[in-house]
Amino acid sequence: MKVTIIGAGAIGGLIGQRLAATGEAQVSALARGATLAALRERGWRVRQGETLATGPVAAAHPLEDAAKLGEQDLVVIAVKGPALAQVAASVVPLLGPQTLVLPAMNGVPWWFCQGVPGFADGASGGDATLTSIDPEGAIGAAIPLANVIGCVVHASASTPEPGLVDHKMGRGLIIGEPGGGASERVQRLAALLERAGFEAKASENVRLDIWYKLWGNLTMNPVSAITGATIDRLLDDPLVRDFCSAAMREAAAIGAKIGCAIDQSPEDRHQVTAKLGAFKTSMLQDVEANRPIELDALVSVVREIGQRVGVATPNIDALLGLTRLFGRVHGLYPQ
């Protein structure tokens, strides 16, 4: 089968290398700059502990070479949220009627509220486009919902240098139909990912899985970014912990309105998160590396959905305002 990875960073590189290693897929990558050069010179490289795994890759530039790759069986999108609108057009020449598009990204995806009962009527804002993450509608226009498979990534990896992935822990991938239910194509993809070494689960409600992961990331990521603190220190401070819990209760109320009810308390979730110890969130890592922060897909969109379904979000609003200002002052979020 033919597979293209868009965004050959930590998660994209991990998925690309593992799929290439199965021998079942001809894996290409769309990348730029130093990452493109590194992939062309050395192929996929994933390091875990003292072990370095490699794999072949056809590396191409998204603007110059995407059309040359032709129709793909699977397209994995693993870019950071702020870059998605820029790369959406490069997905178009890769698509055929049966192409699967797997967005392996943080936060709420652009398609999340499409088909949600009552969301796109006049009382909730007109349509299901989430303007905080797809302001011009370009992503939704480029990538048909019929091609999309929802995805939640439970893995931690980083890129110490271009083209090299440092896989720290986790191999979980939850995938499912955006509209829910079971399907043969999801089962086939889950089986392929299992053969590639992932703990792949076919979910009949992937929207809930996405919202549940977001429920924790919504607070831990931005609070760690503006404070510079690791997870353990955030949860050890009772005032910070209480603030995070209040924001999580707002997000849970929103979830209940859109078919993503969470049957857990914030304190229960904190106990799970605390097991990570002195862990740096992805947003804190982005701040330390002077990279744009993924604020909109984690926080802005939650506020937007809350406004659309009539749930007040004073704590989420405060979190968004503080993190947005921090990002703008440090050049990590658009003015």
Q: Which residues are catalytic?
A: 213
Q: In degrees rounded to 5, what are phi and psi of residue 148?
A: -85, 140
Choose among 287, 281, 273, 265: nearest CA to 235.
Answer: 273
Beta strand spans in the chain (E): 2-6, 26-30, 44-48, 51-55, 58-60, 74-77, 100-103, 150-161, 164-176, 199-202
Choose among 312, 38, 67, 297: nearest CA to 163.
Answer: 38
| Contact by Cβ (8 Å): 154, 206 | no
Q: In degrees rounded to 5, what are phi and psi of residue 157?
A: -150, 160
- Give 301's Cβ-side CA count (13 Å radius): 29
Tracing tokens 């349509």 back to the chain, one arrives at 127
- How big is the chain, counted in residues? 335
CB atoms within 10 A of CB 123: 11
Residue 220's H or E segment, with its range, is helix 206-227
Q: Which residues face 53 on adjacent strands?
A: 46
